[in-house]
Structure 1
Amino acid sequence: MLTIYLTRHGETEWNIAQKLQGWLDSPLTEKGKRNARELGARLKDIEFQTVYSSPSERSLCTAQLMMQRRTCPFVIEEDLKEIHFGDWEGQNRQVVSENYPQAYFNFWNAPHLYTSETGENFFELEQRLLAFFEKLKSLHQTGEVLIVTHTVVIKMLLATLKKQPLKKLWSTPPFIQDTSLTIVECVEDQLEIVLEADVSHISQEQEQVTER
């Protein structure tokens, strides 16, 4: 059986500033680094065959902090990038909502209607995500792998596995906190959710952060 450990990158400076990141990047905060190390400690006894990471620096840094001195192949996977926001990237959410009111509303409230002239829609994200997981299943029939990626990627995967309508993407739990842990097992070529967005490794004193 193949077991997939899936996590979101640690908190970043743009998360704090309420800026959309997408394919752009910003450094991890000290809190983000701490949470990554704590998740690594939680998973210290798992012998990962491979670590797959989005090429975003925030994901790569999270993966490296989790693994510390452990030796394991690292694979940078383009299909694990966050959804591409196009012209929105690097902009504050409030500014985007004012300049693109309908598109921004659709992103959060009617994702099945969301379109982007310079970025991706959710259907395009889903296609590259499903392509990656088909490749993953062909490469790993058994063992454990770690995937470090992004909020919308994880939400999209969970929704797809649950056969959840896209329009309910954001209205249905879970909330994807930084370094939250999701576990998926591949049983007879089918992906089954074992654990969703668990943050038991994070100190309860830490307040939740805004997604992405």
Structure 2
Amino acid sequence: MTRLYIIRHGQTKWNIESRAQGSKNIELTKKGRDQANLLAERMKKYKIDCIYSSDLDRAHETAVMIGKKKNLQVNTINELREMCFGEWEGLTNEKIIEDYKEHYTVWRNKPHEADIPGGEKLLAVQKRGLKAIHEIIKKNKNKNILIVSHGITIKTILLGIMDMDLSNLYKIRQDNTCMNIIEYKDYGPVLVSLNDTAHLENI
């Protein structure tokens, strides 16, 4: 049986400031590194055969911290990076609402229909994310695979795996360093765990 551990990166400064990060390369905060370290400690009890990560620093650093505990190298894949938010990147939610009210309204109410200026469409993010997942699984059949990616990208992947429409984007929550577990059984994928942050209970 193939098992996926899909994890979101630790906290960044722009997470705190509610800025659209997207494809911008933002580092982890001290708290983000603490979160990643607690997750890495937790992952010591799980059997992991290989680790894959987005090429963006916040995800890669999170993955490397886990890799050090598991004595595993991290393989980077560009297709696992966060959705590109185009002109919104670096802007706070407040500024986006002020300057792009019409586009933001669509993004919040019908995310699958949103066309953010200069950004990616949600379906494109899902397609590249699922393509990466399927290629990883094909290379690592019957292994335990850990993948570190980003909030929106992970949501689109989970919705795709569960055959749910992208309009359900906001019905899934993904906190920093959360863990999602998916098992691939003979009859298909099963979501075992969603947005698990038990390792953060004491911080």
Tell me how large the CA RMSD over aligned residues is: 1.6
> Does the aligned pair in 1 maintain the 2:130–2:160 contact within 8 Å?
no
Q: 1:42-95 deviations in whole A, cap 9, x for unaligned?
A: 110333221100011000111122233532131100110111101111111111
> Does the aligned pair in 2 maintain the 1:137–1:189 contact within 8 Å?
no
Rounded to whole Å, the distance in 2 between the matches of 1:41 and 1:67 is 11
Rounded to whole Å, the distance in 2 between the matches of 1:27 and 1:176 is 18
Q: Could you tell which deviates more after superposition, 143-152 or 158-167?
A: 158-167
Rounded to whole Å, the distance in 1 between the matches of 2:64 and 2:134 is 25
Alignment correspondent of 1:184: 182
Quote how far apart the aligned CAs of 1:101 are.
0.8
Rounded to whole Å, the distance in 2 between the matches of 1:135 and 1:188 is 18
Rounded to whole Å, the distance in 1 between the matches of 2:74 and 2:24 is 21
Alignment correspondent of 1:198: 196
Q: 1:165-193 deviations in whole A, cap 9, x for unaligned?
A: 222221x2x32110001001122383221
Question: Would you tell me which structure has more helix in proportion to its own residues?
Answer: 2
Quote how far apart the aligned CAs of 1:198 are.
0.6
Q: Secondary structure at the match of 1:201?
A: helix
Alignment correspondent of 2:24: 24
Rounded to whole Å, the distance in 1 between the matches of 2:67 and 2:122 is 31
> Does the aligned pair in 1 maintain the 2:44–2:69 contact within 8 Å?
no
Q: Secondary structure at the match of 1:147?
A: strand
Q: Could you tell which deviates more after superposition, 86-95 or 182-191?
A: 182-191
Rounded to whole Å, the distance in 2 between the matches of 1:167 and 1:74 is 32
Quote how far apart the aligned CAs of 1:115 are.
0.8
Superposed, 1:57-68 pairs within 5 Å as 57-68=57-68
User: Could you say if the C-alpha distance between residues 69 and 44 of structure 1 is closer, same or farther in structure 2, counting changes exceeding 3 Å?
Assistant: closer
Rounded to whole Å, the distance in 1 between the matches of 2:125 and 2:117 is 14
Alignment correspondent of 1:41: 41
TM-score by length of 1: 0.90
TM-score by length of 2: 0.93
The number of residues matched between the two structures is 203
Q: Which runs of 4+ in 1 moved over 3 A?
A: none
Rounded to whole Å, the distance in 1 between the matches of 2:55 and 2:196 is 24
Rounded to whole Å, the distance in 2 between the matches of 1:78 and 1:155 is 17
